[in-house]
Every structure is written in structure tokens, then in C-alpha cells.
Amino acid sequence: MRTSYKMRAYPTPEQAAVLNRTFGCVRLVWNKVLEWRRNRYRTQGIATSYAETDRYLTELKRDPDLEFLCEVSSVPLQQGLRHQHTAFVNFFAGRTRYPRYKSRQARQSATYTRAAFRWRQGRLYLAKMMDTPLEVVWSWPDVDPAVIVPTSVTVSREPCGRWYISLAVEAPDPEQAPPTGAVVGVDLGIKDFAVTSGGEKIANVRHLARRERNLARYQRRMARKQRGSNNRAKAKAKVARAHRKVAASRGDLLHKTSARLVRDHDVIVIEDLAVKNMVRNRRLAKTISDCGWGEFRRQLEYKADRHGRRLIVIDRWHPSSKTCSACGHLLAELSLSTRAWCCPSCRTLHDRDVNAAKNILAAGLAVSACGGDVRHPRSSRVQSPQKQEPQPVRAGIPVLQGGE
């Protein structure tokens, strides 16, 4: 199994200067090669291989105006070209968008392979800095850093000013978690981040909304500073630190929630949400992005695979909210404002999200049992009637009328 260890780094001023120079060269090579590839394809219609980009890098180093490229290690430059080639492969495969130019304002990184670093007794020595080890903080007390053998090292600097080291290692597969015999369906939402088929509701903390006021104040202060000044750089670092706190809080919730679900259940069923399409709603785009549904699904996938659990993803068009989990009655229409409803067929009172989680679990178990498909064709979805009857009310909960 391939895994990585990410930790904080504290370079000395001399090491920071070398790393910053390396970041600049990696960024320059990426942008120049990307521009060359684009112009070559537009004018000649020729695709570019990695070997051709490597030869073009040699030509760049021979340019008298770019002699400083030879002052840094050549490994991060070549690894940058490999990453660019992988980005184009993913683009043509339809997995990602077209590669973009790198900016000095974003996260900076450089990757070193085994020929350009040494890891000895938990101490890291990088090329062009072999005389002094890079100070890092090991955060895994149950793992001895002296026994791991990294295959590559990635040094990064965040916009907030923090430095990180990521070690890629080949580790043995972890032990499979003991079976629990429990299954769960999870319905993701905005009012509550997640609702399980057992009735548990995980609150949506709204990390960005809680810090939005301070973030807006930092951004106003930065806007008043003169561009290019040291005061603007300091104000910009405060904005980046505020965003880092939001991302760290969100990541903490996602990791704890996904880890608990994987640890306590053998089978987990979720919906295939089209987050990219959902954020087109201007009123809910910020709130949906703050939830982190896509990252939550990614964490569930790799954690379930690592611990021997099964993750089932049902189709997004499955009418989980409009179907009665007790008798299977399907409503013709259910507005987003209706949080609870009474089934007109069996008179069962439903919490909207809990009922949806139960239906998600039932659909997932059906797939697990018979290998069927729960895809719901858009053409066969229940159409709303032209005219609706007045809805009777039972104990303050609307009794919704279903379609034939």
C-alpha cells in the first residue's frame, strides 16, 4: 500500500532561500513548457511527449537568460514536467480540466526523488542543502521514523507561510477491521451535515460562516494596503491564515465523521451527489461548498477500502426523500421547505432526512443482494400534477398527497 506522512517543517533562513529559489524555477519551467506545448499544438497540431519536454528543458538551461536554472537541483524541475504530463493525460481522459499556469501567490511545492534527498534516522537532507538537515516535527508516536524508506519527498509552502514535508512510502497493508454486522445509510444535507438511517444527526458546523466576519475584516484591511508593499503582504498572510483555520476545522470534522462511520459499520450507503452542478445555485453555492461533500466521499472511499469495508453509492435520481420508507408510497412532489410529512397511504410520520437515509440504505442493500441497479431514468420520474389539492394538516405536519 502506498501512503504518505505529512508534517510541519521549519527551515533555516538559508534553507528557505534555497527552497524559494527552487519553487521559482519549478514554476518558471512549468509555465514555459506549458506555453510551448500549447503553441506547438495550435500551430502544428502535434502532441508533446514527456521525453520532448525533457529535451526542451535542456534547451532552456542553455539559454543565457535562464542560466539560474542550473543553480537549483534538476530533480524538482524534471518532476514538475512529469506532473504536467500526468495532468495532460488526466485531461484527455476526462478526469480533470486543462492544466493551468502556476502563480507565485498560490501554494508552492517541489518534489524530490531518491537521487535528490537522504532520509537517515528520521533526519531529512535535500539536494543543494546536504550539509544541514531540514528540521521537521514527527507526529506519529507509534511509527519509528528511522525504519521508513521514503520513495519521494515533497516540500511545500502554504500562502499563510507554513512549511510542510510529505514523505511518500510503501507500507504494508493494514489489518482488516473486525466485522461489526452493522449497516448504515447516510443522507448528506445542509441543515444537518449528515443523517444516518438510525436517526443520528451530525450537525453542520458551518465553518466558513462562523469565521466569515473576521475574514471579511482581514480582507478589507488588505484591500486598503498599497499593492507590492510589505504591509499588504502581512495583511495577505492574515487572510491566508484565516482560510487555513476554516479548512483545518472542516477537515477535522470530515475525518472524524468518516473514520467513525467506517469503524462502526460493515456497509455504508451514500448518494452520488453532483456537487459541481449543485453549486450553480447562487443562493446555496457558498453553503454547499462549505459542507465538503466531495471530500467526505473521497475519505469514505479510501478508508473503507483500507479497512475492508464496503461503500455503496446509489444513483442521484433515486427518490429517497419522496418515498415512504414504511410502505414504499411515492409522493408526486415534496418541497425543500417541508422537513416532516405524513404518508397518505400508511399514515406514518416521517422526518425528511431520516426517511431519506432509510431509503438510501434499502436501495444500497438491494444492490448488494442482487447486483441490480437503482438508477432512476429522468424520463420516468413522477411528474407534478398541474393542479394540487389543498393539503390537510395533521398535528401541524402536512399530509402530502401522492400521485397515481
Does pLDDT of 319 surpass 50?
yes
Catalytic entry in 142, 144, 271, 351: 271
Burial of residue 24 (number of CB atoms within 10 Å: 0-12, 13-18, 19+)? middle
Mean pLDDT of 309-316: 90
Domain boundaries, the chain: 2-170, 183-314
pLDDT for position 371: 57
Rounded Cα distance between 293 and 284, Å, is 14
Residue type, 403: G
Does pLDDT of 21 surpass 70?
yes
DSSP 337: T
Torsion angle of the four alpha carbons 290, 292, 293, 299, in this order, in degrees rounded to the nearest 10: -170
Catalytic entry in 54, 295, 333, 353: 353
Does pLDDT of 90 surpass 90?
yes
Is 389 tagged catalytic? no
Predicted confidence band at 370 (pLDDT cuts at 50, 70, 90)? low
Does pLDDT of 391 surpass 50?
no
The vertex-166 CA angle with 163 and 170, nearest 5°, equals 170
Catalytic entry in 65, 173, 175, 187: 187
| Residue 183 CB coordination number (10 Å) | 18
pLDDT for position 236: 93
pLDDT for position 204: 92
Rounded Cα distance between 164 and 134, Å, is 11
Enter the pTM of the model.
0.81
Tell me the pLDDT tens digit for each residue of 114-167.
Answer: 999 999 988 999 999 999 999 999 988 888 888 889 999 999 999 999 999 999
Does pLDDT of 373 surpass 70?
no
Is 353 tagged catalytic? yes
Tell me the pLDDT tens digit for each residue of 31-72.
Answer: 999 999 999 999 998 899 999 999 999 999 999 999 999 999
For residue 295, the SS3 value is helix
Does pLDDT of 239 surpass 80?
yes
Is 271 tagged catalytic? yes
Buried b (16+ CB within 10 A) or exposed e, 124-133: bebbebeeeb
